[in-house]
Amino acid sequence: MAVSQRDEATLEVGSLLPDGHHLIGGEWVAGRGGETIAVSNPATGELLASVPRGDRDDIAEAVTAAAAAFPAWRDTSPSVRGQLLLRWAELCREHSREIDVLERMEVGRPTWGPSPVPGIITFTAGLADKVTGQTLPSAVPDVVGMTLREPWGVCGVIIPWNAPGPLTVQDTAPALAMGNTVVIKPAEDAPLTPLLIAKLALDAGIPPGVINVVTGYGGEAGDALSRHPGVRRMSFTGSPESGSRVMEACASHLIPVHLELGGKSPQVVLRDAPLEKAIPTIVRSITLNTGQICAAGSRVVVDEKIHDRVVEGLAEGFEKVTVGPWYEQVDMGPLISAKQQERVLGYLESGREEGAKVIVGGGKPQGEPFDRGYFVQPTIFDQVEPDMRIAQEEIFGPVLSVLSADDEDEALRIANGTRYGLVSSVWTNDVGKAIRVARRIQAGQVSINTLWSGGVIGAPFGGYKSSGFGRTVSAESILDYTQTKTVVIDGRR
């Protein structure tokens, strides 16, 4: 009998992870409350596995385990910590298919190729024994001053569902490299990949309790983690509204927090833009992972002189986007859940009501296999005004808004005219113009004639304004997981 594409792509989750368990102190433990959360395949609605509905008692147990593991991990040679992280990366590379397929099963995305998880850990491992302090000038020769970089202690990490593998390690690896221990609260929609990656860390020889994973809802387990007095540093990736609540919780016991809160990223297409490169790249940006990426280029701010050419090219590109279950050779899969599907469809209706013109898409695809999953059509809106909801709010779906600008100054006003400031792209063949516009855009990352990091290794990632603060996937993220201590030695008798 022939093997279907689905059979080739699917994993048996039970062979990788025990059903209905947290990972705390190196042990698989059931939730204290006894309740579980179903994790479903977004392409079909079928049950993949169940995880505990963690609460404050589960969080307290995990923080206690992390605190107990901290002194020995802190005092481990940074070179040894780096070697253990490299072993972790090797195991993730050996199991890269399992990581990739498991993430695709729970998120619903088609294949992207090799998982980036091993590379992120490898990059971080190399920095573990490279962080140094300073010697300080003194007013007298018998006094020496220096600074030390020391870990915070137990760190909390709350991650979203859209890319659970990379988002797990981009915070956890720097924390571990610097001698911290962590408690991870993954999203309830996609908690399986973080559990598998944490299991591989344990298999790599990273001591029990250094990495702990507690599953559950944000308002329960996530809130408890943010408020636990034993947590000394927090990292949160998600919406501005949830980020505000995390920050308020951390403020109650004066805990520093890193926030990455999404974006409404502009693609500024100037009159002399290389359209042959820009158009397919923009199409890929907003349809990748069904638009469920914080850095997705969801707004095209285009010079009026080339507006029609750009819209025509984008429409042709969108018409070629194939949609289907994640286990097939398609460009775009389903949204993560029925809730997210309803949210995106609501924005499509809002765009129409406010007067924007649908060029492509605008609803749900019909028939098999779409009726069973959470699918939506890739959609382009033209004649979008800057104050429309679809131009201001993060939709987190494959919805592209096209806005016209008469000149460079107006393009910049539109590009900067949201509360977000995560990433942006500028498309032009004029280097001087590119530099000038890049300096004036309010975003943590500006790419010229490319997307996001454009293949640059270690480019700091993070936002301005309501997109948050702090940086990841770079050497700066290592320093964020340390605090500075000044030591003064007075040698005078």
Render pLDDT for 19-69 as a digit per residue (tens, 0 to 9): 999 999 999 999 999 999 999 999 999 999 999 999 999 999 999 999 999
Contact 10, 105 (CB under 8 A): yes
pLDDT at 1 over 50: no
Q: Nearest 5 degrees, angle CA 35-CA 39-CA 43?
A: 155
CA distances from 221 to 22, 29, 353, 408 (A): 12, 15, 38, 47
- Tell me what the mean pLDDT of segment 379-390 comes to: 98
How confident is the model at residue 9, as a pLDDT? 60
CA distances from 71 to 76, 144, 178, 459 (A): 9, 27, 12, 31
Q: 10 Å Cβ neighbour count for 68?
A: 14
| C-alpha R_g of the chain | 24
Distance CA 203, CA 200 (A): 5
Quote the tokens at residue 144: 């020496």
pLDDT tens digits, one per residue of 194-206: 999 999 999 999 9
How confident is the model at residue 101, as a pLDDT? 94
Contacts of 57 (CB under 8 A, 6+ apart): 32, 33
More confident residue, 115 or 452: 115
How confident is the model at residue 4, as a pLDDT? 47
Contacts of 276 (CB under 8 A, 6+ apart): none
Catalytic residue among 92, 155, 250, 294: 294
Confidence of residue 3 (pLDDT cuts 50, 70, 90): very low
Is 155 a known active-site residue?
no
Confidence of residue 476 (pLDDT cuts 50, 70, 90): confident
Contacts of 448 (CB under 8 A, 6+ apart): 425, 426, 427, 428, 434, 438
How confident is the model at residue 319, as a pLDDT? 97
Residue pointed to by tokens 């494959």:
398
Q: Report the candidate in 208, 205, 246, 199 with the shortest Cα–Cα distance to residue 227.
A: 246
Confidence of residue 290 (pLDDT cuts 50, 70, 90): very high
How confident is the model at residue 222, as a pLDDT? 97
pLDDT at 335 over 70: yes
How confident is the model at residue 109, as a pLDDT? 94
Q: Report the candidate in 492, 404, 377 with the shortest Cα–Cα distance to residue 141.
A: 492
* DSSP symbol at 474: S
Q: Nearest 5 degrees, angle CA 99-CA 105-CA 111?
A: 70
Distance CA 364, CA 340 (A): 13
How confident is the model at residue 146, as a pLDDT? 97
How confident is the model at residue 7, as a pLDDT? 53
- Looking at the chain, the whole-number percentage of residues with pLDDT higher than 90 is 93
Quote the tokens at residue 328: 């097939």
Domain ranges in the chain are 5-261+471-485, 266-457
Amino acid letter, residue 151: P
Confidence of residue 5 (pLDDT cuts 50, 70, 90): low
Task: Evaluate the omega torsion of the peptide bond into residue 369 and state whether it is cis, within 30 degrees of 0.
Answer: yes
How confident is the model at residue 459, as a pLDDT? 92
Class of domain 5-261+471-485: alpha beta
Segment (H or E) for 234: strand 233-237
Contact 360, 382 (CB under 8 A): no
Quote the tokens at residue 110: 């088609």
pLDDT tens digits, one per residue of 63-107: 999 999 999 999 999 999 999 999 999 999 999 999 999 999 999
Query: Yes or no: is domain 266-457 CATH 3.40.309.10?
Result: yes
Amino acid letter, residue 260: E
pLDDT tens digits, one per residue of 195-251: 999 999 999 999 999 999 999 999 999 999 999 999 999 999 999 999 999 999 999
β-strand partners of 300: 267, 402
Distance CA 9, CA 24 (A): 30
The SS3 call for residue 206 is: coil
Segment (H or E) for 89: helix 78-94
Distance CA 261, CA 245 (A): 12
Q: Report the candidate in 177, 167, 153 with the shortest Cα–Cα distance to residue 115.
A: 167
Catalytic residue among 106, 220, 260, 394: 260
Distance CA 78, CA 178 (A): 7
Q: Nearest 5 degrees, angle CA 284-CA 162-CA 325?
A: 65
* DSSP symbol at 17: S
Q: Report the candidate in 19, 20, 17, 23 with the shortest Cα–Cα distance to residue 61.
A: 23
Distance CA 197, CA 175 (A): 15
How confident is the model at residue 11, as a pLDDT? 80
